[in-house]
Amino acid sequence: MRRFRTTGRWWSGPALMLVLAVILILGACGGKEGTRLGDELYEQGEFEQAIAAYATVIAEHPENAVAHNNLANAYLANRNYPGAIEHYSQALELDATFIRAYYNRGIAYYLTDNLDQAIADFDTAISRMPFYTEAYYSRGVAHARKGNTDQAMADFNKVLEITDDTAWREKAQAELDKLNP
């Protein structure tokens, strides 16, 4: 029986055929099944395999903004920040209304110390969804890191104003306490 080596594993003929059949089926489903598979792998912490699943969907359906966003999430979880930024940007080129992709790219920019771009993406997310608690909080963290105390405090106070979620309120209050001892 012939064996093929892929990504550190040996695949026998029948196993390889099954994988190829799944890839063909995923392509025929417009990428929805592949996105679901990638989501499941991502949730299990199998980021490399999730990356492969999302990349397969994108190869067949490069216009799939959700697949680009989800691939970027897997790159982000795997600490491949340039790859994450690239695919969040692709998602936004395909769908400029994808608010979550602005927020996600802002996180990736923050993690690469590109605070101005992070703040710009959080600004865009907030302008399109004015009650986006996570974006206010994250923008506040970025402002605090830049030393923009007044802007950071305004964002953390906004979190307290717009949400009843105890966890977000506690996080925002803790940040305010750090800034205003």
pLDDT digits (tens, 9 = 90+) for 59-111: 999 999 999 999 999 999 999 999 999 999 999 999 999 999 999 999 999 99
Q: At 135, which CATH number?
A: 1.25.40.10
The one-letter code for the residue type at 51 is I
Could you list the residue range(s) of the whole structural domain that residue 164 is in?
Answer: 114-181
Tokens of 69: 């966003």
If one counts every other C-beta atom within 10 angstroms of the C-beta of residue 14, the result is 9
Do the beta carbons of residue 102 and residue 89 sit within 8 Å? Answer: no
Are residues 90 and 34 located together in one domain of the fold?
yes
Domain total in the chain: 2
* pTM of the full structure: 0.80
Residue 11 has phi, psi (to 5 degrees) of: -110, 125
- The string of pLDDT tens digits covering residues 124-169 is 999 999 999 999 999 999 999 999 999 999 999 999 999 999 999 9
Asked whether residue 158 is domain-assigned, the answer is: yes
What six digits make up the tokens of 48? 């490399």
Domain boundary among 67, 95, 123: 95
